[in-house]
Structure 1
């Protein structure tokens, strides 16, 4: 349920003016990225190239909004083939056995003056655990075809060990020493495909 907090931020105002309806995430104009500390020396940044999702937005009653996303773990890319293969392998995502990472919302709340917070569950491998994603909404635009497009940014952090993702392979054997905190960043662009009828 959406908690009653301050609603003075611009992001909140932009969400309140977002047309209610069902939106499909546009993977061409969206980005799902991540970063982590490697061997306590450098930051590694990467992204997933294949994902899809659905947003059911209700500006008048945000607590009724919903979000769903599925990600192909095998589409992971960090710019280094050996590192990518290790992260896709059985030590980490095990993409051959668990090809999908999924996220589904269970509620929304106001996050101070800055935006909304999605409260949901993320399934990685065969473990589903809660996650909080801070969202900031941009302005809604209308395309030439007449469809509305909404933009939003998402930020979250998770501990890989909570999902049993622990890289134990030595670095000299091609392993990747991943810190126990991964930052997620999402730049989402979604197009409305269904206009909700009046309440």
Structure 2
């Protein structure tokens, strides 16, 4: 993070910059391969309070049908049998708490909703940059992840799938958010 930015300068309302944000997942398939994917359509906002991080918060909405793994047949299968995007078009996260874990790291707790099921999760988040860009916009960059058991949200086709695809899925993001005027 830029050393010229004080925590108080971070305070404000931000919106995710979709062209510079990646929201993805990693799951182990069979014995050793990993399937990586990402969501192409999402929006979110962040409320930062640099002086009092515990007063910060975030909300994210992902269009589940925007899932991409680079393999059309697998994508269609994940959208249908796993995520049931016709009945459950959105995946959402709404923070419920932010706690500092270091100088630029945080534990962000919140409610993750997938397939209409809401469960609490705690993300490990790192603030990696904060600066004014060449257009005069103030930006912050975060990255983070959480590992979840997809079965807790009913993201499971059948018992055979549990053998082929690990129930543990890492949700990860690398995001740039631009402060609103």
- Scaled by the length of structure 2, the TM-score of the pair is 0.90
Q: Say which one has the larger Rg.
A: 1
Alignment partner, residue 197 of structure 1: none
Partner of 1:115: 105
Unaligned segments of structure 2, at least 5 residues: none
- Residue in 2 that maps onto 1:16: 7
1:142-153 alignment, distance < 5 Å: 142-153=132-143
Give the whole-Å Cα distance in 1 for the aligned partners of 2:63 and 2:5. 31
Aligned to 2:166: 179
Q: Who is 2:151 aligned against?
A: 161
CA distance in 2, matches of 1:18, 1:137: 14
**Equivalent residue of 1:139, what SS?**
strand
For residues 138-181 of structure 1, the C-alpha deviation after alignment (integer angstroms, 9 at most, x for no partner) is 2211123322011010111111000111122868xxxx932110
Query: What CA distance in whole angstroms lies between the structure 1 residues aligned with 2:6 and 2:108?
Result: 13
Q: CA RMSD in A?
A: 2.3
Which of 48, 64, 87 pairs up with 1:73? 64
Q: Contact 1:72 / 1:99 at 8 angstroms: preserved in 2? A: yes
More helix by share: 2
| TM-score, normalised via structure 1 length | 0.83
Instruction: Give CA deviations for 1:59-118 in whole Å, capped at 9, x if unaligned.
Output: 0011110100000110001111111111000x2100111110000000011225661010
Secondary structure of 1:146 counterpart: coil
Contact map agreement 1:18 1:140 (CA 8 A) in 2: no
In the alignment, which residue of structure 2 is the partner of 1:188? 175
Following the alignment from structure 2 to structure 1, what is the Cα–Cα distance between the partners of residues 77 and 103? 40
Aligned residue among 34, 53, 58 for 1:43: 34
For structure 1, the residue ranges without an aligned partner over 5 or more in a row are 1-9, 195-199
Secondary structure of 1:97's match?
Answer: coil
Distance 1:14 1:103, change over 3 A: farther
Flag the structure with higher strand content. 2
Alignment partner of 1:85 is 2:72:
no
Contact 2:124/2:146 (<8 A) preserved: yes
Paired residue total: 180
Cα distance 1:15–1:153, how it changes in 2: closer, same or farther (>3 A)?
farther
| Over 4 Å off, 4+ runs | none
Distance 1:114 1:81, change over 3 A: same
3-state SS, counterpart of residue 156 of structure 2: coil
